[in-house]
Amino acid sequence: MRLRGRKSMKEDLERQTDLIVFEPRKLKGRWNEFFDNDRPIHIECGMGKGQFISRWSVNNPDINYIGMDMYDELLSRASEKARAFWKKERNSEVVPNLALVRGNVEFLEEMFEEGELERIYLNFSDPWPKSKHGKRRLTHPRFLMKYKQALNEVGEIHFKTDSLSLFEFSLNSFSDVELQMRNISLDLHRSGIREDLVLTEYEAKFIGQGKPIYRLEAVIGDKVREEHRRRVADEL
């Protein structure tokens, strides 16, 4: 029964060519062809069940979104969630600005051309708490260099976690590769849930448990870095 269930899931996903991408490497440099437009592309690396990226796609139809994870079950759940959101809130049977990708961030440079992305979301990534696993953390400098290459002149990284140790590690990593940071928060929802930000499933659970959420934004692209520097100078 379990094997038949997995086979049925895979077959269902393979039929959803409008939404599911199993071979992202074939779209490197050509994601505008998949979306059939030249709008900005935002990606969530490690989307989980897809609530975050699906909600953003509904809220911002003029931006293209990619949710990436490695497991068919998560792709299936995200697909169901995205289609339900679009049906309920926009009365649409299709999800025109979202791709759900089976992929590993380890190979990001094989999926995206230099400057092809505008924003990368890292939400509640595995903290890999053992020091010997530090290179597996998605905010390790080796990953940050991959992100820098894929992001365009206004590119940004938005990072959230419930792990203080991962957040401290990440602050050092961003600094080590000389990335400018802004909007650093040690308790994002301390004064109430931020209505301008979309919650992930994990985030909603952690808020209910009273756990602080740590967040930062890193400005990557030359244009947004210059805008950030001017804004800081004006405030001094």
* CB-based contact 208:162 (threshold 8 Å): no
Q: Residues 135, 137, 140, 144: is their CA dihedral positive or negative?
A: positive
Nearest-Å Rg of the Cα atoms of the chain is: 18
Q: What is the DSSP letter of 138?
A: T
What 3-state DSSP class applies to 121? strand
Looking at the annotation, which residues are catalytic? Answer: 126
Considering only CA atoms, which of 39, 33, 18, 29 is closest in space to residue 96?
Answer: 18
Q: Count the alpha carbons within 13 Å of 75 in the hemisphere toward its beta carbon.
A: 25
> What Å distances lie between residue 160 and 9, 13, 106, 200, CA to CA?
30, 29, 19, 10
How many residues would you count in the chain?
236
d(C-alpha 162, C-alpha 166), whole Å: 8
